[in-house]
Amino acid sequence: MFCDEALDTVEAIAAGELMADGRVAAHLASCPNCAQALESARKLERSLRQRPVPNPPAQFTSRTLARVRRARWRSDQFLDVGFNVAIGLIVVSVMAGVWMLLHRTGIVSVSGDAVNVFGSGFVALARRVAPALPLYAGAAALLVSALALWWWAERDTAL
């Protein structure tokens, strides 16, 4: 049995993690060097155990939970702002699209002299509107999906 082998175990023995078996115990009893090492390891262990453990500050739990709640609230606010910006962009693009469609198909000018339209008949208006119907349907679908998304989010935040 060499000293280095015994010295490798003195910390564990001092900490009580390891029982000195026959060979090690015999060496520790016969070798003053290793016996002293074990003794100093025990002293160190004792002083470590007596070291005061700092108490957590008062209201540690409630303060921590409050901070967690605040952080969660902030991220919720961030999501809320992002969602509202997205909805705003959708609404603006829908409105811009409708406005452009109205101008391109000339509905605006038609409605400008509505009397003339009703006078000359509905057929002319229908002829002008008909080619744009798929575009109107697309715009309406976009609007409906935006409103559905809005409804879904409002219902979610209400909970």
Residue type, 49: R
Closest distance between Zn ion and the C-beta of residue 44, in Å? 18
Least CB distance to Zn ion at residue 57 (A): 47
Q: Taking the chain, what is the end-to-end CA distance rounded to the nearest angstrom?
A: 72
Task: Candidates 1-9, 66-74, 96-104, 130-138: pick the segment binding Zn ion (CB under 5 A).
Answer: 1-9
Judged by CB under 5 A, the residue of 3, 48, 114, 147 near Zn ion is: 3
Close Cβ partners of 139 (under 8 Å, ≥ 6 residues apart)? 94, 97, 98, 101
Question: Residue count at the site for Zn ion (CB under 5 A)?
Answer: 4
Shortest reach from residue 14's CB to Zn ion, in Å: 15
**In whole angstroms, what separates CA 110 from the centre of its chain?**
52
State the nearest-atom distance from the C-beta of 20 to Zn ion, in Å: 13
- 22-30 and 3-14 are packed helices; what angle lies between their axes, rounded to 10 degrees? 100
Does residue 10 bind Zn ion (CB under 5 A)? no
CB of 33 to Zn ion, least distance (A): 5
Measured distance CA(107)–CA(129) in Å, rounded: 8
User: What count of other Cβ atoms lies within 10 Å of the Cβ of residue 10?
Assistant: 22
Our CB check for Zn ion shows the closer of 6 and 107 to be 6
Tokens of 128: 């002008």
Output 33 or 109, the one with its CB closest to Zn ion.
33
Residue placing its CB nearer to Zn ion in the complex, 3 or 148:
3
Per CB under 5 A, contacts with Zn ion among 17-36 are 31, 33-34
Number of Cβ within a 10 Å radius of residue 149? 14
Which residues are near Zn ion by CB under 5 A? 3, 31, 33-34
